[in-house]
Structure 1
């Protein structure tokens, strides 16, 4: 059964990014009733701190030595998280923009799964090579500023290019982005941006 993984990166159930994801997923489910849906809420998922045994395991991989028992157990957690992503045929990442970039939980997930021999490898002749297969991936990014039209009031969107590059590094290049914003300020502007983004998300849900 094909699978869609939805990574929920906002701690607020009523967030703009989560609302946009629901619009997309409702439409997607109408067309793909035979799919399996996996919701990964990064605020409820037990993500390991990237220190101690799991950090030692990374450097064991880099140094070409075997794992200790503690390192093997710690690395197994990263393997399970990476496999959950790797098994998905489609991925949706819905996230707010925090301080120009992404929430720390999403960054923590990226740091945990981006491991040598797991999601990438290094070849002396070719450099860094991804280990995951490409798959259609949708980024839904909500922000207080309007990055969709360029009326961003001097703020810089570092979330979109960072996520594109982090995904490309492990093998995912087929990435589409829907920006929702502004989510703060005059009500008319918020509602207009929401309507436009939801319309696009519904259209994507029908053909993603």
Structure 2
């Protein structure tokens, strides 16, 4: 029985464009995969550990700085627990609204929590290498202002480029994207663009995430 981890990156609930597109994906996904487990992780409601001093110190023990003992073990156990939840999924659905050209801080916090040496990636003489295998993801990208072809005054994209780098780092190499961009700028085509995004999300779930 396979498992989909749905990571909610927007705090706007029903007002969120990315969440509404994700719902179209999930509706089709459930029809296509009736026996699959869907684990929803809401970054704005669920407790995500703060990567504080103890956790940073615990992380550095893997690089030979200090010893993993006492309170550092407890701090590291929190990291391992949430990372194991992430690793246990076979597939991922992640909503990624653009904030200030990049990704929401809650999503960045989560990425910083689960992206750990010896857990999701390794490091050796030739640099970084991924530890995850046979995973796939669907990412929903939205923006209110930024869009391809618009002048730089409408923003730059550190959203998709960052997520692509991160997924490749940990080993999620099969990635399908759905985009709905410039929703506050291209009002004349918004309804058409929104419908296309909904249809695309549903099609991806049907064609690429079948059981």
- Fold shared per TM-score above 0.5: yes
Give the match's secondary structure for 1:102.
coil
Q: Distance in 2 between matches of 1:163 and 1:45?
A: 21
Partner of 1:97: 98
Equivalent residues, number:
205
Partner of 2:7: 7
Deviation of 1:146 after TM superposition, in Å, equals 5.7
Partner of 1:107: 108
Give the match's secondary structure for 2:6.
strand
Deviation of 1:186 after TM superposition, in Å, equals 5.2
Partner of 1:59: 60
TM-score (norm: length of structure 2): 0.91
Q: Distance in 2 between matches of 1:152 and 1:70?
A: 50
Q: Deviation string for 1:30-87 (max 9, x for gaps)? A: 1110101000001112122222210100111111654122111111111112111111
2:169 is equivalent to residue 203 of structure 1: no
Q: Which of 169-178 and 65-74 deviates more? A: 65-74
Give the match's secondary structure for 2:18.
helix
Cα 1:19–1:8, aligned 2, differ >3 Å: closer, same or farther? Answer: same
Structure 2 gaps of 5+ residues are: none
What does 1:165-204 correspond to in 2, within 5 Å? 165-185=165-185, 187-204=187-204
Structure 1 gaps of 5+ residues are: none
TM-score (norm: length of structure 1): 0.93
Q: Distance in 1 between matches of 2:150 and 2:45?
A: 32
2:150 is equivalent to residue 152 of structure 1: yes
Give the match's secondary structure for 1:139.
strand
Q: Distance in 1 between matches of 2:48 and 2:202?
A: 31
Deviation of 1:177 after TM superposition, in Å, equals 1.3
Deviation of 1:160 after TM superposition, in Å, equals 0.4
Give the match's secondary structure for 2:44.
coil
Q: Distance in 1 between matches of 2:167 and 2:55?
A: 21
